[in-house]
Amino acid sequence: MSAATEAFLAMLAAERGAALNTLAAYRRDLDQAEAAIGDLAETSRDAVASLAGEWASLAPASVARKASALRQFFGFAVDEGWRADDPSGALPAPRLRRPLPRVMGHDQIAALFARAEDEAAGDEPKAVRLLTLIELLYGSGLRATELVGLPLSAAPRDAPFLTVTGKGGATRLVPVGGRALEAVGRWLSLRPQTPPSRYLFPSGKTGHLSRVRLFQLLKALAARAGLDPASISPHVLRHAFATHLLEGGADLRVLQTLLGHADISTTQIYTHVDAARLVALVNSRHPLATRTTSD
């Protein structure tokens, strides 16, 4: 990898607080581009245009991600004086349609929680831990990474809030409902004390429960609840949290804050919920709704 791209990655880490996974993805995309067309700080516009052929077999989302990485690099290179031109216009720009999130229905949520509550009735630690995990996924809308990495100090005590560290190191306060508070309290009373761990959900000698293990636990619970494991994941529960709150009348800006979205456009995907409900809302709340055509 060239010195210019290394400097760009260092800038992302230092100035924008990019997460490790984000940096790894940028590094991979830039490295592959340089393998195809050479040093990005010196390569020609024609060489940049040739990447369309290199990426022809890729999915539109992959092409869009790679092109975004290069556009940001070229902007940085121009700002730093390494390039006199910005060849980003030669990059392919596939049109993407954001897929709608998979969402669990209320009956599926009820079945999942009924099974988890039944299994946790006897205070078996792993069963209580699983109930706590799904309460926080669905009750607070946490990302899988945010959930498994919660420090013990984040456990709500004096106030019903979690301090969550999200993407890029951004922190936010997330409310915790009564059910989740009860589950967290039960888990804290059963949580292993040895070896000492700074995590709310410890695993191994010094680490925490992994994202992969969280996926496995949730899918196994879904199967025991008579649900299709392939249709359920931590992110699906997060989507259900958002969709069901919006159905209940939550404001989109509030939802953006709760989910930790940097851009409101990311949150707007949840406006797909229940078109009939939205029509009914307009008909009942609009100022003209109570007026007749003869008024």
Tell me whether residue 237 is in a domain.
yes
Q: Judge whether 270 counts as a catalytic residue.
A: yes
pLDDT of residue 49: 93
| CATH number of domain containing 199 | 1.10.443.10
Q: Judge whether 239 counts as a catalytic residue.
A: no
**Catalytic residue of the set 71, 167, 179, 211:** 167
Domain that holds residue 200: 106-278
Residues of the chain short of pLDDT 50, as ranges, are 276
Single residue among 29, 59, 90 that ends a domain in this structure = 90
Q: Judge whether 235 counts as a catalytic residue.
A: yes
Q: Find, among 251, 277, 239, the residue nearest to 105 by Cα.
A: 239
Tell me whether residue 30 is in a domain.
yes
pLDDT of residue 100: 52
Tell me whether residue 99 is in a domain.
no
**Catalytic residue of the set 26, 138, 199, 270:** 270
**Catalytic residue of the set 115, 208, 238, 239:** 238
Same domain, residue pair 143 and 230 = yes
**Are 175 and 135 a contacting pair, CB within 8 Å?**
no
> Residue 215 belongs to what H/E stretch?
helix 211-224
What is the number of domains present in the chain?
A: 2
**Catalytic residue of the set 83, 115, 129, 143:** 143
Tell me whether residue 97 is in a domain.
no
Q: Look at the pTM and tell me if it is higher than 0.85.
A: no
Same domain, residue pair 135 and 231 = yes
What is the three-class DSSP state of 202?
strand
Tell me whether residue 289 is in a domain.
no
Q: Judge whether 238 counts as a catalytic residue.
A: yes
pLDDT of residue 246: 77
Q: Judge whether 97 counts as a catalytic residue.
A: no
Strands (E), the chain: 161-165, 171-175, 202-203, 207-208
Tell me whether residue 65 is in a domain.
yes
Question: 288: buried, middle or exposed (CB in 10 Å: 19+, 13-18, 0-12)?
Answer: exposed
**Token match 């590094």: residue?**
27
Q: Judge whether 286 counts as a catalytic residue.
A: no
